[in-house]
Structure 1
Amino acid sequence: MKLIQSRDNAFYKQLKRLAESGRERRKSGQTVLDGVHLVEAYEQAIGPVDTLIVGESAQQAGEIARFLQGRDIVVLSDALLREIAPVDTPSGLMAVAAMPQATAAVHRQKDAILLDGVQDPGNVGTLLRTAAAAGITQAILSPGCASAWSPKVLRAGQGAHFVLAIHEEADLLDFIARYEGTTAVTCLDGASSLYEARWEEPLAWIFGAEGLGVRRELIDAAQLRIKIPMPGAVESLNVAAAAAICLFEALRRRLS
């Protein structure tokens, strides 16, 4: 066990760079995980993390203490841990782990979720988690999306990253043109109700950036335009909420 209390410590400096810099994560091939659940999900799907880090006051916390039994750890002062944690109230446990690479090619005959410029890390993580829960196995992210392997996106994804093939910086227009199934986009103009629309599987759903929505060229390229009926006073939904409705309506039909 090693206790780190100084910001000048070399390991801490590297840890902070990994937590804050996408460039550093790409360069090192590593990222930072936060929380017992996320670390367990990583190790079950991929294998041991590189380094386990625990806050000084969290060492004896029940769940964390049990998880750390017999394992080598690095201990950070609580103040240092708070500085790198992706949330305001840190879980107390973090890890440095290798970022899995999407080794499989993009599959044009399987269901997919396409994200167009979704910038909010919480939304990206939630979208990945929802897609994985609905049985989708690949996520295609355009340039401009929040980095899929940032600590905040990983925290929101809660392990979805480790069961999805995630392709970042992708050309969504090219994917749509080559896709061997139905491409569906959520929009308002010329759209059919989600509950009345008909489609052939496999299905690739396109969801757009907060506020701006999906780019016009992608809307024009999609085969199916979908809107979610909203009889209430609210005019729009958060992109992650809209995606959940669409993905699970598609799943409901498949299972019925």
Structure 2
Amino acid sequence: MNFDLISSKENPLFKEVRQLQATGSKGQKARLASGCALLEGIHLVQTWEGDPALKTLFTSELGLKNAEIVQAMYSHLELCPDTKVYQLDSALWDLLSDLVNAPHLAGLLDLPKSCLASPQSISTLAGDVVILDRIQDAGNVGSILRTAAAAGFTQVIALFGCAHLWSSKVLRAGMGAHRLLDLYEGWSNQQVLSAVTAPLLAATADAELDLFSIHKELIHPVAWVMGSEGQGVSEDLLAQAKSVSIPIDPRVESLNVSTAAAVCLFETMRVRLH
């Protein structure tokens, strides 16, 4: 195997990759400017194996001694021979990845068009939708994306103030669910209210309407709104939504937002299967 070697942290491509990993709005700005996200670890690379959007791979000398990594790289190259592969100096790998002891494999992925499209360019979004309202914990956001994909909800909108959907932490928590979803990011409440055609159902702790009593509503397309851990669903969305609560033991104050999302989405799936 003979790949281009990157041995300096001043290498322009290496610097670009490091910018994609930045947290918060700095990383988001870099991802939108380049139209790319970084996939870290063998599982995420394997998820996009054979997809031309995975256009660049990175490994190291240590990575090339790992049979599973070599297999994943060759499988992808066989289907996408134009993929560029770079071997990083081992010292650089520690700067690139914050995954301790993880296999040395990463990739650059072209972001799908839905992520790069401005919300103004989308006049209507029909069918089931999951709307994330200012959920800031990356683990929760990734977990909800994974749940949405598992429950057959393929459209997810993240409003301003959410953890960025293509950040490293959300990608890792999503465990490859991103590939199965149409993801929309940076929307305002108003854009949701004008584009989403399904009725809004807001998961709230104190609603009188009980999740297990709304079979008729769940048979048809719905837009589930999951609110931030601290503030809940924003008032202007609540005003246009039907509030729904999950019955829980009164001694417990509330559920984690990703757990609440799982209960709501799988109850929707259950109703439709029966």
Map of 1:5-16 to 2, 5 A cutoff? 5-16=7-18
Q: Pairwise mapping of residues 67-82 of structure 1 onto structure 2 (< 5 A)?
A: 67-69=72-74, 71=77, 73-82=85-94
In structure 2, what is the equivalent of residue 170 of structure 1?
187
- Alpha-carbon contact 1:182-1:202 (below 8 Å) kept: yes
Instruction: Report the Cα offset of residue 98 of structure 1.
Output: 1.1
Which of 254, 264, 273 aligns to 1:236? It is 254
Counterpart CA distance in 2 for 1:196 and 1:87 is 44
In structure 2, do the counterparts of structure 1 residues 27 and 174 end up closer, same or farther at CA, with 3 Å as the change threshold?
closer
| Inter-partner Cα distance in structure 2 for 1:89 and 1:120 | 24
CA deviations on 1:53-83 (whole Å, 9 max, x unpaired) are 0133222113112122385521223442232
Please name the residue that 1:124 is paired with: 141
Instruction: Number of aligned residue pairs: give it.
Output: 254
Q: TM-score under structure 2 normalisation? A: 0.83
Structure-1 residue corresponding to 2:231: 212
Cα offset, 1:207, TM superposition: 0.4
Cα 1:182/1:29, change in 2 over 3 Å: same
Q: Which residue of 1 aligns with 2:80?
A: none
Alpha-carbon deviation of 1:91? 3.4
Give the letter for the 2:97 counterpart. A
Contact map agreement 2:20 2:38 (CA 8 A) in 1: yes
Relative to its length, the structure with more helix (as a share) is 2
Query: How far apart are residue 182 of structure 1 and its match?
Result: 2.5
Tell me the secondary structure at the aligned position of residue 229 of structure 1: coil
**Deviation for aligned residue 1:117:** 0.7
Q: Secondary structure at the match of 1:53?
A: strand
| 1:141 alignment counterpart | 158
Correspondent of 2:205 among 188, 194, 198: 188
Please state how far the C-alpha of 1:158 moved relative to its aligned partner: 2.2
Residue type at the aligned position of 2:8? S
Moved over 6 A (4+): none
CA deviations over 1:9-50 (Å, ceiling 9, x no partner): 222212111222221111111111122332232244x42522
Deviation of residue 202 (structure 1)?
0.8
**What is the RMSD of the two structures over their aligned residues, measured on CA atoms?**
2.3
Matched, 1:22 2:28: yes
CA distance, structure 2, for counterparts of residue 9 and residue 151 of structure 1: 21
Q: Does the C-alpha gap of structure 1 residues 174 and 6 become closer, same or farther in structure 2, counting only changes over 3 Å?
A: closer
Q: Distance in 1 between matches of 2:12 and 2:177?
A: 31
Does the aligned pair in 1 maintain the 2:53–2:111 contact within 8 Å?
no
Residue 90 of structure 1 corresponds to: 102
- Rounded to whole Å, the distance in 2 between the matches of 1:177 and 1:100 is 23
Structure 1 residue runs without a partner (length 5+): none
Offset of residue 178 of structure 1: 5.4
Q: Is the 8 A contact 1:113 1:131 kept in 2?
A: yes
Within 5 Å, give how 1:23-42 maps onto structure 2: 23-42=29-48
1:55 partnered with 2:60: yes
Q: Deviations over 1:186-211 (max 9, x none)?
A: 11233322112341511110001122
The answer on whether the counterparts of 2:124 and 2:194 sit within 8 Å (CA) in structure 1 is: no
Q: Structure 1 residues 109 and 227, CA, compared in 2 at 3 Å: closer, same or farther? A: same
Identity %: 36
Q: Report deviation, 1:237.
A: 1.8
